Amino acid sequence: MGATTSFCRLRRVCLTLVITAILLAGLSGVARAGCKPAELVVAIDAGHGPKSPGATSASGQPEYAFNKRLAAAVKDALIQAGFAKAFLIDPVGKDLPPASRAARANAAKAGLLISIHHDSAQPQFFTTAVIDGTTRRVCDRFAGYGVFYSGRNKQAASSLELAKAIGRELAASGLPFSPHHAADIPGEGRPIVDPIAGVYRYDGLAVLHAANMPAVLVEAGVIVNPAEEHALATEARQTQTARAIARAVSAWCRERGK
């Protein structure tokens, strides 16, 4: 009798635990279903600014000009994909420090942040070339994109998933990943966490770790490489990159909504 009673009690306890687990799973499903494109606020950052423009391209153009054009294209592609609340953190160009950009995204209650940059290389890899009659410092050794996430971001796991989704879409669109930031030399040494998608971990990026939401930084291509600069300046390449990012955000959002 006693054994039967405790068995029944045990069964009741087990049943209660199972029901509780089902209810909790259901509730978490409801909570995660919040990622709806029309409601998700996507903050887009054009890296650097007019006064501190970042790298200088092979032909002498400021990185910020590339970032600004591509950030606008990313915003357009996201809006076309249904992310009506996508916005540029600083459409004017006020040379905000990286943490202030994250603070603006936090204030706007953004659900994710994408920082757009164009890449350079360490000084020892540069040579000189005459471009349009002017001698320039160039580097044709590296070409391709790279996606960064910070392990110090408050939502590092989601940031990494987003970084992988963006890298996968960029690769699927035919663009190469440039692994040159992983080199064991001063100024580099960033670990590659996904060599197929082309994702680095870089905890020190303030625009990423000061953000409350999942955040990634995209180096869209190497502008100190003359051939890649030429490609990056075309509307076709900007659209290709922007649409790949928008597809990745859609996929990431769908996955979170499950």
- Sites of contact with Zn ion (CB under 5 A): 47, 54, 117
Tokens of 70: 């591509």
**Closer residue to Zn ion, CB minimum distance, 125 or 257:** 125
How big is the chain, counted in residues? 258
Q: CB of 97: closest distance to Zn ion in angstroms?
A: 13
Give how far the C-alpha of residue 25 lies from the chain's centroid of Cα atoms, to the nearest Å.
29
Residue nearest to Zn ion (CB): 117
Q: CB of 117: closest distance to Zn ion in angstroms?
A: 4
Q: Which residues contact 163 (CB under 8 A, 6 or more apart)?
A: 147, 148, 149, 194, 197, 199, 216
In whole angstroms, give the CA distance from residue 49 to residue 233.
18
**Closer residue to Zn ion, CB minimum distance, 69 or 256:** 69
Tokens of 250: 């859609």
**Closer residue to Zn ion, CB minimum distance, 47 or 146:** 47
**Closer residue to Zn ion, CB minimum distance, 83 or 145:** 145
Torsion of CA 102, 119, 223, 98, to 10 degrees: 20
**Closer residue to Zn ion, CB minimum distance, 81 or 170:** 170
Q: CB of 54: closest distance to Zn ion in angstroms?
A: 4
Half-sphere exposure of 169 (CA within 13 A, CB side): 22
Q: Contact at 8 Å (CB) between 189 and 182?
A: yes
Q: CB of 67: closest distance to Zn ion in angstroms?
A: 7
**Closer residue to Zn ion, CB minimum distance, 53 or 167:** 53
Helix intervals (H) in 146-225: 156-172, 206-209
Of 125, 149, 254, 256, the residue nearest 198 (C-alpha): 149
**Closer residue to Zn ion, CB minimum distance, 73 or 253:** 73
Q: CB of 219: closest distance to Zn ion in angstroms?
A: 7
Q: Contact at 8 Å (CB) between 145 and 178?
A: yes
In whole angstroms, give the CA distance from residue 171 to residue 245.
11
Q: CB of 223: closest distance to Zn ion in angstroms?
A: 9
Q: CB of 34: closest distance to Zn ion in angstroms?
A: 32
* H-run or E-run covering 30: helix 2-32
